[in-house]
Amino acid sequence: MPGFWTPMTLAPFRRLALTLLIALACLSSPPGARADAVDDALALFTTDKFNDTATGIQALATSGHDNALTILRAMTDGRLFYDPAGKTVFYRDAQSALFDAKTGAAAAAEPAGLKAVRLNNRLRTALEAARGGLALMDPDPDRRRTAAEAVFRSRDANALPTLTTAIGEEKDTRVRTEMERARAAILLTSSGVAEEERLAAVDTISGRATAESAALLRSLPADTPQGVQEAAEAAVTIIEGKLAFLAAFQNVLYGVSLGSVLLLAAVGLAITFGQMGVINMAHGEMVMIGAYTTFMVQDIIRNAAPYLFDYSLFIAVPAAFIVAGAVGIAIERSVIRFLYGRPLETLLATWGISLILQQAVRSIFGPTNREVGTPSWMSGSLDFMGLSLTYNRIAIIVFALMVFVALLLVLKKTALGLQVRAVTQNRRMAAAMGIRTDWIDAMTFGLGSGVAGMAGVALSQIDNVSPNLGQGYIIDSFMVVVFGGVGNLWGTLVGALTLGVANKFLEPYAGAVLGKILLLVAIILFIQKRPRGLFALKGRAVEA
């Protein structure tokens, strides 16, 4: 048929030939020839035909051109244009500045009549796959790992050649592991793959116990061989067991994190309530004062010495101890000293003081939350056994243990600690031995308040700094102190960690509010059996 070979019928063959030529040039040509291949790929974007654009995307992605990923991102965002007259491709940056796509140089002048490179759904899919393939070769290991995770989720078979190449060149063990999982996911869900390869893919995927891995192994294609199905079912059982263990381990970790927060809030109360017998309802406000001291320290540093911001918490800790301790001494000298031996009246008086302190803070700083920044060394998270624990939580755990050890040393190894223990066990005998019991009372109350202020520094990193900050921890603090044993620091430590872990195990089943109610009921029942708590304080006065 002589009229069959028309320009219209020849067009698909020309496009196919052009694609093969571009691919051959990208794979085997020297750098100069590759530059020509980039020119040919960019030329396909100027034809205003979707098929040519798709061919150009694939050719550009395999060209190895330095600017390829930038061009593809610009195309995805609708920032890629071409000049119909000069057949030159340009892209705009976030500030709408125009750049030559091939060279990356800023355009000397904007050509008249620029047209946007058109997209449809098929091209957007091709762009996503091409960008994922390029990201696998990115210099940044985090981006390569993210790209591998994206390929694992998408299981795009088009990424398999690039993925195989990337695995062979990858030096980072964690990134290579993610790439191997992504490759295994593609092989496992593709047709025409040998059974031995699929079995190996099942082993690779099951090597990391995640919900995504289990979901993939449960949803294999219908044509999957019976042996692979059975291996996948066995792997899912193993993964579910690991996930159950990780969930329990995660609850323990988060419980220790919560327990460290409770320890910080309660350890100061263990001194004022346990050692002195004062029911201090203003203890939460000492925590709040520490948090606002942190805000003031950071505000001064931001304005006067911003280069010290990463050290702001190291400055805020002693400052909060001094400020909160001074406020505590002032409260003890002006109010509490007249109410010893009358616990109900100290409760009412300190409750009134807490309201006064809250209103004072509202008048000075306002009722809204104040921003307390996180230093760079506390930002981010640590991946451990598939779990993620933020650095600020880790820092609080370490800080809580440091404060606990420091308090033990003060009470066991210093003259002040010896005198505090003497007054706690027998006030009259201590006074007869020449100890100034009124001075010890003031110092003990100041020490407990100062520790609460340091707790406020830590809590400012995980909670809102507001006038009501301390109210959220006062009840929990009393629960910890009473459960652990009034006046016993070791009891406070064990009680805080126990309540923190128990709370995290109850939350998934009972919810946060009901879980706390159940804990409160359990503590009430426990106190009925052991009125002095887990670790009772020894001494003539406390046993009288």
Q: How many CB atoms lie within 10 A of CB 95?
A: 5
Read off φ and ψ for residue 280, nearest 5 degrees.
Answer: -95, 95
Which residue did the predictor score with more confidence, 521 or 18? 521
pLDDT averaged over every residue in the chain: 81
Q: Residue 14's pLDDT is what?
A: 43
- Picking from 22-26, 134-138, 204-208, 468-472, which range would have the lowest pLDDT averaged per residue? 22-26
Q: Is the dihedral of CA 104, 106, 108, 109 positive or negative?
A: positive
Q: Residue 537's pLDDT is what?
A: 58
What is the percent of the chain with per-residue pLDDT over 70, rounded to a whole number?
Answer: 89
- Helix 195-206 and helix 211-218, axial crossing angle in degrees, nearest 10: 150
Which of the four pLDDT bands, split at 50, 70 and 90, describes residue 326?
very high
Which of the four pLDDT bands, split at 50, 70 and 90, describes residue 1?
very low
Mean pLDDT within 474-496: 81
pLDDT digits (tens, 9 = 90+) for 331-355: 989 988 888 778 788 888 999 999 9
pLDDT digits (tens, 9 = 90+) for 306-320: 888 889 999 999 999
Alpha carbon distance 489, 480 (integer Å): 11
Alpha carbon distance 5, 393 (integer Å): 72
End-to-end CA distance of the chain: 118
**Helices and strands (H, E) in the chain, number of each type:** 22, 6
Q: Are 381 and 388 in contact (CB under 8 A)?
A: yes
Judge whether residue 295 has pLDDT over 90. yes
Q: Residue 386's pLDDT is what?
A: 63
- Helix 211-218 and helix 226-269, axial crossing angle in degrees, nearest 10: 160
Q: Residue 540's pLDDT is what?
A: 39
Supply the pTM of this predicted model. 0.64
Which of the four pLDDT bands, split at 50, 70 and 90, describes residue 17?
very low
Judge whether residue 16 has pLDDT over 50. no
Q: Residue 296's pLDDT is what?
A: 93
Q: Residue 274's pLDDT is what?
A: 66
Q: How many CB atoms lie within 10 A of CB 247?
A: 12
What's the 3-state SS for 422-484? HHHHCHHHHHHCCCCHHHHHHHHHHHHHHHHHHHHHHHCCCCCECCCCCHHHHHHHHHHHHHH
Mean pLDDT within 219-248: 85
Residue 377 DSSP label: G
Q: What is the CA radius of gyration of the chain?
A: 34
Strand partners, 465: 370
What is the percent of the chain with per-residue pLDDT over 90, rounded to a whole number?
Answer: 11
Q: Are 400 and 260 in contact (CB under 8 A)?
A: yes
Judge whether residue 304 has pLDDT over 60. yes
